[in-house]
Structure 1
Amino acid sequence: MPEHAPNVVILLNDHQAHYRHGWDDGPRVRRPQFDRLRGAGVTFERAYCQSPLCSPARRSIVSGRYPHSHGEIRNDTGTPFDEPTLFSELAAAGYAQYYFGKWHAGPGTAQDLGAEGFSYPSYNNPYTKPEYATYLASRGLPEPTIQVERSFHPPDWGEPLEGLYRQTGGWCNEHAIGVLQSPDDTHEAYFLANLACEQLDRLAAEDSERPFSMVVSFWGPHAPYFPTQRFLDMYPPGDIPPYGSVHDDLAGRTEVHWREGNHPMGAGDRLVQPSALSWQEWQRVLAHCYAQNTLVDDAAGRILDRLDALSLTDHTLVVWLADHGDAIASHGGHFDKRSYLTEEVLRIPFALRWPGGVAAGQTVRDRVGQIDILPTVLDAAGAPPPAGIDGASLLPLVRGEQGWRDEIVCETHGHGEKIVGRALIGSRYKYVAYDGIGEELYDLVTDPYELHNLTGSPEHHGRLAASRERLRDWRAATGDPTTPDGALSDTGRGTGA
């Protein structure tokens, strides 16, 4: 064990699914920097977000609580930060703290919680900020310009997204594909990596014994998928085979799976079946998506390089994960995400590296979640976890010192609609209950794409009943609010464990 509390660097990607790392038989998404990190540390193969939506998931990361407990149940719910956070606890442990990038974890910014750096309220858009303009000017970089190939917004969305385009709106989450015409370094991912590297340089020059924590929160690889051409060239569209559920007819699935607001994938907020895009069209979309994944990976690699160059690697715990997954081309041809709790939107890439703190080259297949980030970081820092959190430190697990939970739970309170649901995920079976809508049960070993709902199978009735009971027990144990008739509530705030 290291003698001193480590520095902490958290790399947070937005909207990145684990399943793009080899579930299908096509070209594996290239993430050499993520592979570099996990090869020197621990990979969590069954890592799940606590909600497939930015604000509730990000709040779970910084609070160690399930969404029903921390209260930020949807994007921009606005629940006050009246519980301990990663920032408050690391400050109490003596850490200097920095945050660069997308916030979207609740009201205010990371600076309001004591972290220096660059963040703005809600989702926002880095390309419109004075810090970004200064960055371009200092490097002689041009304004970023995109050649849009295709937009998937509905016809009434507003100004047409076509031709040469600049991201000047309040948010930079256009549902579109295209190619960034300016250099790599004009992409937000490289801008944020540069801010982080400059701060690392300053910290190394100070040569202080005070540990630091740093979060670098990229806006990518979330859509819009606007990589530069060199990354797009890595993924010939014709080499991408059909994804395992792109032709899913949703037979036996709950109504939740039919919601789709993008165009032409959806019409009247309902998924078009069969898919309105041919597989050749999907190949173009996926090539851009995969390329953007690789671009963000490359940018984050500069931070790992700087840690090496400044001799900080051996004294730094690095955690790399995503806030939630991505439903692109799954379950009949979705784009983005909605309120469904599929593996594509729930399962995320997650790895950590801590030289001297955890053995390198490990792969953990237990179910872990974002609620475990805060207690893990505090454990490494030698600080106690706050009372009432739902997560647990991963360090005893990776060191083989104790057992672990059998199942993990993920939540939705709806995205663009009030749909309340919970997914109870074990080593093999996954049970999903949507309040007032229906249930689903899947065998993830024989049916990893969740094509066959087993709730109607007589041989699984016992397992279904047992899953219902375990979910009821979990609700009681975590203070998950219920209405008087026993249904899940989306209005209350739980008490936590």
Structure 2
Amino acid sequence: MGQRHPNIIVILSDDQGPWALGCAGNPEIRTPNLDALAECGTRLSRFFCVSPVCSPARASLLTGQIPSRHGVHDYLDGPHAGPDSVDYLGSIPTFTDALADAGYRLGLSGKWHLGASDRPRRGFSHWFALHGGGSPYDHATMYRDTEPVEIDGYLTDVFAEDAIGFVETAAGGDEPFFLALNFTAPHKPFAGQHPLGYTELYRDCAFESCPQEPAHPWQPTVDGVPIGGEPDAREALIGYFAAVTAMDAAIGRVLDAVNQQGIARDTLVVFASDNGFNCGHHGIWGKGNGTFPQNMYDESVMVPFIVARPGQIREGVVVDDLLSGYDLAATLLELAGLDPAPFETGPGQSFAPLLQGEPQPGRAVVVHDEYGPVRMIRTGDRKYVHRHPFGPHELYDLQNDPGERVNRIDDPAWAAELSSLRARLDDWFQRHADPLADGARLPVVGAGQVAPLGDDPLGPFTPPNWDGTPAKASKTKGDCR
């Protein structure tokens, strides 16, 4: 007989495009364990991050709120530990708080990147957190609770082994457990970072799933190299694909541990990524800040998403509804048998019924994204991107132009559609944004946030310095951009 509340394992990859998954239709990338998870669960084919960069997206997954309410608008580049570091979500309820209040045993293995990595969040009895947002794959600084630990070894495997240890320990307890397993894969650096057995799988790959298009006119470069890429695009592709496959193998070992403990039927497993990624798509290497101004292409804002639990979640199903990261907190709580309502006060709404084959009348048929002053509304067949204060703006007919190639913004035939989408976008943000955290007038350019919002709105954000000379261009290969 299963326990009243299921165990929950949320596995998050880092910078994984929606195309980078075998079961999503990519015949080149090898993800057998994630493909098998999708076969015994449900895959969401149109799941969107809330912001196409890591820290805001992760904050929204935890809180169910948008960046213009929780105040994290760019990847965090300030102090990650020590007395000057800040827990950016310290005053904001998260779904992990609700799980702790319900008696869950909480564990984290991997990337945190929401400030104060050396201070475990409330309720976490297991805390193994990466120092910042990015790292080489052969060594890293981690925090075991409050203490720094220098790690050698392949980072993907280090995270997985730590997670397995938590599962084996927690499985013997009386309380249900929650595990956040947050990989850095397939985040850069790419080339020369991954075990030979994985890189050799792709040595002769044609990479037809990643056409290297002419450089996007908005793509910043450092010494001629896209800020989200590396000098040798083919070697970067080999590294990216190898990172995904190595992560898939590590996930397989974690799921094997769940099975060996005899708790599979009592365990809900979720796999997703924080944001999407372009590996040459649209002529971009990177995500939302792979261009300036920041982009909202589907490859940047859509992410893979799989959820499974034997006997509880529909098996072998693909759901095409438009869903968002701001829906996740409420959904997890409802699937755990807890009240989702506290995380439905903003735009988020539980989509648990869709996973269980039940109708969900009244669900919104649009999703919204933001990245500082850049905002998006996306319906099933339309996308409008508005850039405060001056543009450029974009309007796409996704029904006839799914690749987002023809901008209809100046087409008179689309004027009425544009007016409607613009009004809906403005209304949505008026309802859900906090004026004190609204990103529409903030100078967010995709170069990092170094402090919480305060009296000086210019202070927390790093100006764009992509000409190869200032400090931003000298970041290490663990750069988290």
Is residue 59–residue 106 contact of structure 1 (8 Å, CA) maintained in 2?
no
Quote how far apart the aligned CAs of 1:221 are: 0.8
What does 1:27-426 align with in structure 2 at a 5 Å threshold? 27-76=27-76, 78=86, 79-108=88-117, 111-115=120-124, 116-123=126-133, 125=135, 127-129=139-141, 186-204=153-171, 206=172, 208-225=173-190, 226-237=193-204, 239-241=206-208, 243=210, 246-247=213-214, 258-266=218-226, 281-335=232-286, 337-338=288-289, 339-385=294-340, 386=342, 388-398=345-355, 399-403=357-361, 404-413=363-372, 420-426=373-379
Name the CA distance, whole Å, in 2 between partners of 1:203 and 1:5. Answer: 14
Equivalence for 1:431: 384
Encode CA deviations 1:473-493: one digit per residue, 9 max, x unaligned.
Answer: 11122135499xx99233889
Quote how far apart the aligned CAs of 1:374 are: 1.0
Rate the CA distance shift 1:233–1:47 in 2: closer, same or farther, 3 A.
same
Name the CA distance, whole Å, in 2 between partners of 1:242 and 1:87. Answer: 36
Quote how far apart the aligned CAs of 1:348 are: 0.4
Encode CA deviations 1:18-63: one digit per residue, 9 max, x unaligned.
Answer: 0234799974321111111111111000011101111101111111
Rate the CA distance shift 1:475–1:128 in 2: closer, same or farther, 3 A.
closer
Is residue 26–residue 241 contact of structure 1 (8 Å, CA) maintained in 2?
no
Q: Which amino acid aligns with 1:29?
A: I
Is residue 19–residue 25 contact of structure 2 (8 Å, CA) maintained in 1?
no
Quote how far apart the aligned CAs of 1:262 are: 3.8
Name the CA distance, whole Å, in 2 between partners of 1:331 and 1:411. Answer: 20
Encode CA deviations 1:353-388: one digit per residue, 9 max, x unaligned.
Answer: 022222211111111111122111111222223253
Rate the CA distance shift 1:359–1:349 in 2: closer, same or farther, 3 A.
same
Rate the CA distance shift 1:230–1:438 in 2: closer, same or farther, 3 A.
same
Count of aligned pairs? 417
Secondary structure at 1:119's aligned position in 2? Answer: strand
Name the CA distance, whole Å, in 2 between partners of 1:95 and 1:352. Answer: 20
Name the CA distance, whole Å, in 2 between partners of 1:117 and 1:188. Answer: 16
Encode CA deviations 1:238-273: one digit per residue, 9 max, x unaligned.
Answer: 5223745713665xxxxxxx141344235xx8x9xx
Name the CA distance, whole Å, in 1 between partners of 2:195 and 2:43. Answer: 29
Secondary structure at 1:357's aligned position in 2? Answer: coil
Quote how far apart the aligned CAs of 1:411 are: 0.8
Alignment RMSD:
3.1
Name the CA distance, whole Å, in 1 between partners of 2:366 and 2:287. Answer: 26
Secondary structure at 1:383's aligned position in 2? Answer: coil
Quote how far apart the aligned CAs of 1:333 are: 4.0
Name the CA distance, whole Å, in 1 between partners of 2:23 and 2:296. Answer: 18
Quote how far apart the aligned CAs of 1:294 are: 0.9
Q: Which amino acid aligns with 1:117?
A: W
Q: Which amino acid aligns with 1:395?
A: A
Q: Which amino acid aligns with 1:10?
A: V
Is residue 24–residue 244 contact of structure 1 (8 Å, CA) maintained in 2?
no
Equivalence for 1:11: 11
Equivalence for 1:150: none
Rate the CA distance shift 1:238–1:97 in 2: closer, same or farther, 3 A.
closer
Name the CA distance, whole Å, in 1 between partners of 2:307 and 2:69. Answer: 26
Quote how far apart the aligned CAs of 1:324 are: 0.7
Q: Which amino acid aligns with 1:232?
A: T
Equivalence for 2:446: none
Rate the CA distance shift 1:107–1:74 in 2: closer, same or farther, 3 A.
farther
Gaps of 5+ in 1: 138-142, 145-185, 251-257, 414-419
Rate the CA distance shift 1:383–1:52 in 2: closer, same or farther, 3 A.
same
Equivalence for 2:459: none
Larger deviation: 240-249 or 342-351? 240-249
Equivalence for 1:155: none
Name the CA distance, whole Å, in 2 between partners of 1:131 and 1:75. Answer: 20
Name the CA distance, whole Å, in 1 between partners of 2:159 and 2:211. Answer: 34
Is residue 190–residue 299 contact of structure 1 (8 Å, CA) maintained in 2?
yes
Q: Which amino acid aligns with 2:166?
A: Q
Gaps of 5+ in 2: 79-85, 444-452, 455-481
Rate the CA distance shift 1:233–1:124 in 2: closer, same or farther, 3 A.
closer
Name the CA distance, whole Å, in 2 between partners of 1:482 and 1:110. Answer: 26
Secondary structure at 1:98's aligned position in 2? Answer: strand
Secondary structure at 2:370's aligned position in 1? Answer: strand
Name the CA distance, whole Å, in 2 between partners of 1:400 and 1:481. Answer: 37
Name the CA distance, whole Å, in 2 between partners of 1:237 and 1:380. Answer: 43
Equivalence for 1:140: none
Quote how far apart the aligned CAs of 1:424 are: 0.7
Rate the CA distance shift 1:450–1:263 in 2: closer, same or farther, 3 A.
farther
What does 1:455-474 align with in structure 2 at a 5 Å threshold? 455-474=409-428
Is residue 110–residue 119 contact of structure 1 (8 Å, CA) maintained in 2?
no
Secondary structure at 2:424's aligned position in 1? Answer: helix
Q: TM-score under structure 1 normalisation? A: 0.77
Secondary structure at 1:456's aligned position in 2? Answer: coil
Larger deviation: 53-62 or 438-447? 438-447
Name the CA distance, whole Å, in 2 between partners of 1:374 and 1:412. Answer: 20
